[in-house]
Structure 1
Amino acid sequence: MSTKKIIQVDEKVPANLLIPLSLQHTFAMFGASVLVPIIFGIDPSIVLLMNGVATLLFIWITKGKSPAYLGSSFAFIGPTSIIIANQGFEYAQGGFVVLGIIGCIMAFVIHRVGTKWINVVLPPAAMGAVVALIGLELAHLTIQGGSIGANLMTDTATARNFAVFFITLGTAVLGSVLFKGFLSTIPILIAIVVGYISAIAFGMVDFTPVMEASLFTMPHFQLAKFDMNAILTMLPVLLVLTSEHIGHQVVTSNVVGRDLIKDPGLHRSLFADYFASALSGLIGGVPTTTYGENIGVMAITRVYSVRVIAGAAIFSMVMSFFGPLAALISTIPGDVIGGVTFLLYGMIGTSGLRLLVEEKVDYSKSKNLILTSIVFVTGLSGLTVQFAGIQLSGMVLASVVGIILSLSFYLFDKAGWMNETD
């Protein structure tokens, strides 16, 4: 048994720990969250502000029982890019708002009908594989991630890039198993600091953006505009975001040792996620989603307190107004972020395998073997399907395939056609 102290979801955190623990989560989410507005060509400050607001709303709506950081969602990149090219970002915002409202209605329906359907559409044999894919499909970003990871697989990669990557990863790994006491709770933060210092030593950090940044910045607010074509282009993402949300809640449940699907309830967490997305889209931000990077931090540190997550949200909001702070964090090289996420994404993948073990999935049954196998191969094969203007691949496509197979097997079983019985 591990001797690491666990700080549970509802526990208070000592004041001297709160700031470094919160910063650890802020660093973990920053690269991926800021990349989305960069892709869309909008102000990152409004996104950082709304990520913080969304996270605090999520904690409040889920009664402080579900630790999750809400960052910029990648699920919307495909349809949003199409809408921006044809109509402009304001109309994409309108799609975010309408999708968020429909998601809130869906959360109300789930509250009325319950969550037993989850084991029908995604039984453990499929869910465990989907959860594992949340981390595994992101693995390539750790060494070939551009703005959110290292670039070790390109012709321009140098010995310095590899050195910083492995220094960061090595510190995170050794810190997770060797550090004791206070240091054992912040191995990721220490790894980022050590990696950053090594990058400075190798001459890889340019402080010009920090020197040129305005002391005070105001996020760019703009109201959403609505168009039926833009809304219809955005709607298919509903399935994508819902599947991702359920997967993250299952992962987090495994990490913290509590069934968050039941308490505070899937309806509460899903409502919070979609409500935050609608609010963000209404005033100029992007949709939000629970972040795997922050789940990975919790898995390593065993600190699950929502107070720490709330602290990270406040830091994000402060950064949206304080230019030099955001600029300083943006100077952290991708090799540092890649070294950290190399471990974090692996921890998420392991959580899916843990689910399969704890649910005691019986692989002597053909349907379980097929579900896990097909979901894994679909998610990792690189297969891409175009549907209703959006691109389905990776974990999202695997979720859809898993749902179709699971429902088919359920109906076959009810009809008495299966050659095996439970």
Structure 2
Amino acid sequence: MEGRKIIQVEDKVPFRLLVPLSIQHMFAMFGASVLVPFIFGINPAIVLFMNGVGTLLFIVITKGKAPAYLGSSFAFLAPAGIVISEMGYQYALGGFVAVGFCGCVLALIIYKFGSKWIDIVLPPAAMGPVVALIGLELAGSAAGNAGLLEEKIDGRNVIVFIVTLGVAVFGNILFRKFLSVIPILIAVIAGYAAAVCCGMVDFGQVAAASFLEMPNFQTPRFSMEAILIILPVLLVITSEHIGHQVVTSKIVGRDLLKDPGLHRSLLGDNLSTMISGMIGSVPTTTYGENIGVMAVTKVYSVRVIAGAAVLSIICSFVGKLSMLIQTIPGPVIGGISFLLYGMIGASGIRILVDSKVDYGISRNLTLTSVVFVTGLSGIAVKFGNIQLTGMVLACIVGMLLSLIFYILDKLKLTNDREE
């Protein structure tokens, strides 16, 4: 298609393209990533710093072969909230360090024994809906950010949301040449301009902010009780990580679980979380928003991701710039998320299509059905302070079912077994 050349993972990007493409990725992750430190009651500057450092670390560990941006993880909210309320934030940091360390150990185990087990416990009929759920279960979050789920909807929110989403959708179809690779950035700018016209942006905090400001570094404290409360999150973030790597593999057209390998991407993800805990930041994870940007723009260059990481680090030290970005209203973030989350959902369906899943086979129909219903039903399973719901619960259910089917196959008890 004219003007929509794919920029692959290893491709170099001219500086005139690199800057706007990097800004686009930073905007995509910003809204969700700074929400976590706001909930924990800490300054988001340290999080912007670690997001950038963690992303660069991830790129180095994966040898520049896995394009991924690391942002704040939401999986830790519930258990870390308990620890913060009872012991303080520094003990939560100790829990983050412990989870990151155990995740690094898991990466070494996978390096030793391989990742072929994924094909057994998550065949395409299960993996497709799991990946789709990454985007679909966030649809309500996008609408909530846009202010469209309130009992009384503000008309200004609707205007800004429609402008942002409209520019993103039609820009993706109509823009050509250079503009065709930055439709998300253009949509953010258009939505922000609409918000300013609607009187939704207050520049007072920007004017009051210092030009240069040092992120608030903290050191962790360790308590076995706090660690045991937070440690089970490892299961959640591992399932999430595998899902993100699979969907990114489909988008870029390469099997990232094999090259650079699941062990490398898991190591990069968890090492970043461990370092985050050591310096006072929140745990990091690969971000669906940035995966969505790659799906829309067809720009997969790891150099663009690295550029966004460097910009995030710069923003963490420039108080006025960081505060300016924080003035982006929810309807702008919601409008962009509507498209990006939908793209992730469509990527899950693409797995089913590309793998030519045969729904004439009973197990495939059963797996997809159970995974989708589990993920979208709102069912939650609690183990102590850990709550499994949505995509993570659906992934675990899908893995258990697939493993049982595999065992029954080996025992020659199934009626749809391939001879």
TM-score for the superposition, normalised by structure 1: 0.98
Indicate yes or no: 2:153 matched with 1:183: no
Please say if residues 24 and 189 of structure 1, whose CA atoms lie closer than 8 Å, have aligned partners that are also in contact: yes
Aligned-pair RMSD on alpha carbons?
1.0
Report the number of matched residues: 418
What is the match of residue 245 of structure 1? 241
- Does the CA contact (< 8 Å) of 2:126 and 2:398 recur in 1? yes
SS of the residue 1:286 aligns to: coil
Q: Secondary structure in 2 aligned to 1:143?
A: helix
2:119 alignment partner AA:
N
**1:154, 1:3 → 2: CA distance?**
40
Contact 2:147 2:154 in 1 (8 A): no
Secondary structure class of the residue paired with 1:71: strand
Distance of 1:3 and 1:210 partners within structure 2: 37
- State the AA in 2 paired with 1:75: A
SS state of the match for residue 326, structure 1?
helix
Quote how far apart the aligned CAs of 1:268 are.
0.4
Q: Residue 332 of structure 1: CA displacement?
A: 0.8
CA offsets, 1:290-319, max 9 Å, x none?
A: 000000000000111111001110111111
Q: Secondary structure at the match of 1:97?
A: helix
State the Cα distance separating 1:58 from its structure 2 match: 0.3
Runs of 4+ in 1 over 3 A off after TM superposition: none
Q: Of the candidates 398, 405, 411, which is equivalent to residue 402 of structure 1?
A: 398
**Paired residue type of 1:259:** D
For 1:340, the equivalent position in structure 2 comes to 336
Task: Give the match for residue 114 of structure 1.
Answer: 114
Matched, 1:259 2:264: no
Letter in 1 for 2:258: K
Q: Does 1:301 align with 2:297?
A: yes
| Cα deviation, residue 105, structure 1 | 1.0
1:86 is matched with which residue? 86
In the alignment, which of 161, 165, 168 is matched to residue 169 of structure 1?
A: 165
Deviation at 1:410, TM superposition (A): 1.2
Indicate whether 1:59 and 2:95 are aligned. no
Q: Percent identity?
A: 64
Counterpart position of 1:75: 75
Q: Read off the aligned partner of 1:72 and give its amino acid letter.
A: S
Gaps in structure 1 of 5+ consecutive residues: none
Q: Is the 8 A contact 2:7 2:299 kept in 1?
A: yes
CA distance in 2 between counterparts of 1:338 and 1:285 reads 25
Match of 2:369 in 1: 373
Q: Compute the displacement of 1:2 (Å).
A: 7.3
Structure-2 residue corresponding to 1:192: 188
Aligned twin of 2:104: 104
- Over residues 115-159 of structure 1, what are the superposed CA-to-partner deviations in whole Å (9 max), with x where a residue is unaligned? 110011111111111000000000011111xxxx21112134222
Q: Does 1:274 align with 2:270?
A: yes
Task: Name the SS for the 1:385 alignment partner.
Answer: strand
Contact 2:91 2:223 in 1 (8 A): yes
How far apart, CA to CA, are the structure 2 residues paired with 1:209 and 1:418? 65
Corresponding letter in the other structure for 1:157: I
Distance 1:349 1:3 in 2: 25
Give distance in 2, aligned partners of 1:211 and 1:198.
21
- Give 1:235 shift: 1.5
| Secondary structure of the structure 2 residue equivalent to 1:196 | helix
* 2:207 matches 1:211: yes
| Alpha-carbon displacement from aligned partner over 1:8-29 (angstroms, at most 9, x marks no partner) | 1000101101110000000000
CA contact (8 A) 1:75 1:237 kept: yes
2:46 is matched with 46
Q: Is the CA contact 1:236–1:388 (under 8 Å) kept in the aligned structure 2?
A: no
Per-residue CA deviations over 1:265-289 (Å, capped at 9, x if unaligned) read: 1110000000000011111011100
Distance 1:331 1:377 in 2: 37
| Contact map agreement 2:3 2:176 (CA 8 A) in 1 | no
Secondary structure (helix, strand or coil) at the match of 1:36 reads helix
Q: Distance in 2 between matches of 1:233 and 1:259?
A: 34
Q: Which residue in the other structure is 1:231 paired with?
A: 227
Q: Is the 8 A contact 1:19 1:311 kept in 2?
A: yes
Partner letter of residue 254 of structure 1?
Answer: K
Show the counterpart of 2:357: 361
Cα deviations across residues 86-106 of structure 1 (Å, max 9, x unaligned)? 111111111111111111111
CA contact (8 A) 2:10 2:65 kept: yes
Using the TM superposition, give the Cα deviation of residue 3 of structure 1 relative to its aligned residue in structure 2, in angstroms: 6.0
Could you tell me whether the CA contact under 8 Å between 2:2 and 2:176 is conserved in 1?
no
Alpha carbons of structure 1 residues 359 and 2: separation in structure 2 relative to 1, 3 Å: farther
Question: For 1:415 and 1:88, how far apart are their aligned partners in 2?
Answer: 52
Q: Which residue of 2 aligns with 1:14?
A: 14
Counterpart amino acid of residue 95 in structure 2: G
| 2:64 partner amino acid | G
Name the CA shift for 1:76/1:2 in 2 (closer, same or farther; >3 Å).
farther
Distance 2:404 2:39 in 1: 38
Contact preservation (8 Å) 2:137, 2:391: yes
**Are 1:192 and 1:340, in contact at CA under 8 Å, matched by a contact in 2?**
yes
Q: How far does residue 61 in structure 1 lie from its aligned partner after superposition?
A: 0.6
Give the Cα–Cα distance (whole angstroms) in 2 for the partners of residues 55 and 306 of structure 1: 10
- Asked if 2 retains the 8 angstrom alpha-carbon contact of 1:298 and 1:304, the reply is yes
User: Of the candidates 309, 315, 319, which is equivalent to residue 313 of structure 1?
Assistant: 309
Measured in 1, the distance between the counterparts of 2:87 and 2:404 equals 40
Residue 293 of structure 1 contacts residue 345 of structure 1 at CA under 8 Å; is this kept in 2?
Answer: yes
Shift of 1:109: 1.0
Residues in 2 aligned to 1:357 and 1:413: alpha-carbon distance in whole angstroms: 24
